[in-house]
């Protein structure tokens, strides 16, 4: 039923875009807006990992600011094998040059490419910082030197969940000083969000609260765990907001032997992706 309504919604929007495209507007207006549309608007596709080498892209509409303003549509299922050649985060982009040469508004796998270069915000979407007409539509983690896509789940919404955690900070005795931790997530800029697992480990005979905050904040932080006699390990998953370098800060309430670990469970696609 959920799939039916998504397909129906895409069909209705496609009709709306067709009608709107018949409305005459000046060249100046076309450079800045489309009738009834918000800059960067999208109906997000569903991204599905198939085995370790293929990402299946299903459905989707993008209000795209390339060399010309267009409504781009994914009508067929795209079985996309990215040309990945290293461990870490990779970003999928729409190649605007290919889109312009196609002479239509349909997206195929040939119109996509991957890069380790993170996107920047533009027109309420995310675009390549140097190939500024190329729109970023997704990010994924590659586990090996060749294509080996880390298994994830995505239902067409903002959240992308990983079936195994991505390391950030191993168990560390951090005591009471705020300590920077880099969250293992795509680089979507300041105030991006991820789902993080906080773990506490009681080593010595002490009780301790675990805290976190956004890097650079002057708040007292939010408690995310507690370890004491009889509670040797604690775990809590929570959405966190990172700074421009994907960092948060963590600390313990008191000094002692207790340790904390931080790992990533998933991330949120930003507005316009």
Pick 174 or 115 by higher pLDDT: 115
Secondary structure in 3-state letters for the chain = CHHHHHHHHHHHHHHHHHHHHCCCCCHHHHHHCCCCCCCCCEECCEEEEECCCEEEEECCEEEEECCCEEEEECCCCEEECCCCCCCEEEEEEECHHHHHHHCCCECCHHHEEEECCCCEEECCEEECCCCCCCEEEEEEEECCCCCCECCEECCCCCEEEEEEEEEEEEEECCCCCCEEEECCCCCCCCCCEEEEEEEEECCCCCCEEEEEEECCCCCCCEEEEEEECCECEEEEEEEEECCCCCEEEEEECCCCCCEEEEEEEEEECCCCC
pLDDT tens digits along 132-187: 999 999 999 999 888 899 999 999 999 999 999 999 999 998 888 999 999 999 99
pLDDT attached to residue 151: 96
Inform me whether the pLDDT recorded for 84 exceeds 70.
yes
Q: Do the Cβ atoms of 171 and 261 come closer than 8 Å?
A: yes
pLDDT attached to residue 174: 86
pLDDT attached to residue 37: 62
Among 2.60.120, 2.30.30, 1.10.3470, 2.40.160, what is the CATH number of 160-268? 2.60.120
Report which of 248, 242, 266 is spatially closest to residue 192, judged by C-alpha positions: 242
pTM of the model as a whole: 0.84
User: Is 145 buried (19+), middle (13-18) or exposed (0-12) by CB count in 10 A?
Assistant: exposed
Which residues of the chain are in CATH 2.60.120 domains? Answer: 160-268
Going by pLDDT thresholds of 50, 70 and 90, the confidence category of residue 69 is confident
pLDDT attached to residue 231: 67
Inform me whether the pLDDT recorded for 250 exceeds 70.
yes
pLDDT attached to residue 245: 97
Inform me whether the pLDDT recorded for 249 exceeds 90.
yes
Give dist(CA 200, CA 222) in Å, integer. Answer: 14
pLDDT attached to residue 65: 85
Inform me whether the pLDDT recorded for 96 exceeds 70.
yes
The mean predicted confidence, pLDDT, of the chain is 85
Going by pLDDT thresholds of 50, 70 and 90, the confidence category of residue 24 is very low
Give dist(CA 99, CA 112) in Å, integer. Answer: 10
Q: Do the Cβ atoms of 140 and 116 come closer than 8 Å?
A: no
pLDDT attached to residue 271: 87
């Amino acid at each position: 039923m959920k799939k039916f309504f998504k397909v129906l919604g895409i069909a209705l929007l496609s009709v709306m875009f067709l009608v709107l495209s018949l409305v005459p507007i000046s060249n100046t207006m076309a450079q800045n807006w489309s009738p009834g549309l918000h800059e960067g608007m999208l109906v997000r596709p569903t991204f599905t990992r198939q085995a370790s080498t293929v990402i299946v892209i299903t459905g989707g509409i993008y209000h795209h600011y390339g060399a010309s303003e267009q409504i781009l549509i994914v009508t067929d299922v795209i079985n996309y094998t990215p040309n990945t050649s290293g461990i870490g985060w990779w970003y999928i982009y729409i190649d605007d040059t290919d889109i312009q040469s196609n002479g239509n508004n349909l997206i195929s796998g040939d119109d996509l490419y991957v890069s380790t270069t993170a996107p920047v915000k533009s027109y309420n979407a995310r675009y390549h910082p140097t190939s500024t007409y190329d729109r970023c539509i997704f990010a994924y983690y590659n586990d090996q030197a060749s294509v080996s896509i880390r298994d994830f789940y995505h239902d067409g919404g903002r959240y992308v969940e990983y079936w195994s955690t991505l390391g950030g900070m191993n168990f560390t005795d951090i005591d009471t000083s705020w300590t920077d931790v880099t969250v293992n997530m795509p680089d979507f800029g300041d105030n991006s969000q991820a789902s993080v697992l906080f773990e506490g480990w009681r080593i010595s005979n002490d009780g301790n609260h675990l805290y976190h905050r956004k890097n650079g904040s002057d708040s007292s932080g939010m408690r995310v765990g507690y370890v004491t006699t009889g509670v040797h390990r604690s775990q809590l998953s929570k959405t966190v907001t990172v700074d421009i370098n994907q960092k948060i800060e963590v600390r313990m309430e008191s000094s002692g032997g207790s340790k904390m670990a931080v790992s990533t469970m998933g991330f949120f696609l930003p507005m316009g992706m």
